[in-house]
Amino acid sequence: MGHFHSAVRVLEDVEKRYHRKVKTVCCRRRFKGDRDLKVFASMISDKCDNLFNEPPFALCVKFVRQEVYCAPYILWFEMNRNIAEEEVEQRDSSEKPWMDCAEVDARPFLYYLQYLTYGGLGERNKQLHALRELQSYICIHDEMKYLYHPETSLNFLGHCWEMEGHFEGALEYYERSLRGLYQNNAANWHVQRVQRLICS
């Protein structure tokens, strides 16, 4: 239990620092305007007093294969996201270096970790609050278009619903993930697993 309590303190600290003005940055995928120096300059000037203490940027979180045992189980599927060898062959050169890793946007990962941690502590209300935050961030607000790894974030949401025992809801999010990126998407594995659970 001590590890869960330590995790809560870290996650609460991260959430406090991750205010709405924090700009997400990804090393692998890009959005139009990501390299606009005016955006970065205005963020830095807004925070010039506190820039070195709390930079206004959050990188995507990446786990390489050697870190598999440090990553949540659901991310193991991201490291083995292809269903068939043909999918590996269809990856373009920019995708090949990171497709065997697990990479996710920081804020959805924060909410997912909160969901797991509060669940481990038996704090059901806080666990459900984390689930609502994750769902709200991905689905309700206009944030989805600003996610660098929307398929992985949707897979997190599907996994939460799967852990809740709501398999149809889980399937809905996994399928939504596949609509955005069909090949080289771990959701293919999740859909197969959940369909077996529904049929049993």
- Please name the helix (run of DSSP H) or strand (run of DSSP E) that holds residue 54, with its range, or none: none
Residue 25 domain-assigned (yes or no): no
158 belongs to a structural domain: yes
183 found inside a domain: yes
- 105 domain residue, yes or no: yes
Do the domain assignments include residue 42? no
Nearest Cα neighbor of 106 from 132, 134, 78, 139 is 134
Phi, psi of 123 (to 5 degrees): -90, 80
In a domain? residue 149: yes
Quote the CA–CA distance of 134 and 156 in Å, as a whole number. Answer: 9
Per-residue pLDDT tens over the stretch 152-197: 999 999 999 999 999 999 999 999 999 988 777 889 889 999 999 8
What whole-number distance in Å separates Cα of residue 92 and Cα of residue 147? 21
Report whether pLDDT(38) > 70: no
Half-sphere exposure of 120 (CA within 13 A, CB side): 14
* pLDDT one-digit tens code per residue, 75-95: 998 887 766 666 556 656 666
pLDDT tens-digit map of 103-128 = 999 999 999 999 999 999 999 999 99
- What is the domain range of residue 81? 60-199
The residue behind tokens 């935050």 is 133
* 146 occurs within a structural domain: yes
Q: Residue 60: is its pLDDT beyond 80?
A: yes
Q: Supply the pTM of this predicted model.
A: 0.84
Within a domain: 43: no
Specify the CATH number for the domain of residue 139. 1.25.40.10
Q: Is the pLDDT of residue 71 over 80?
A: yes
Domain count of the chain?
Answer: 1
Beta bridge partners of 25: 59
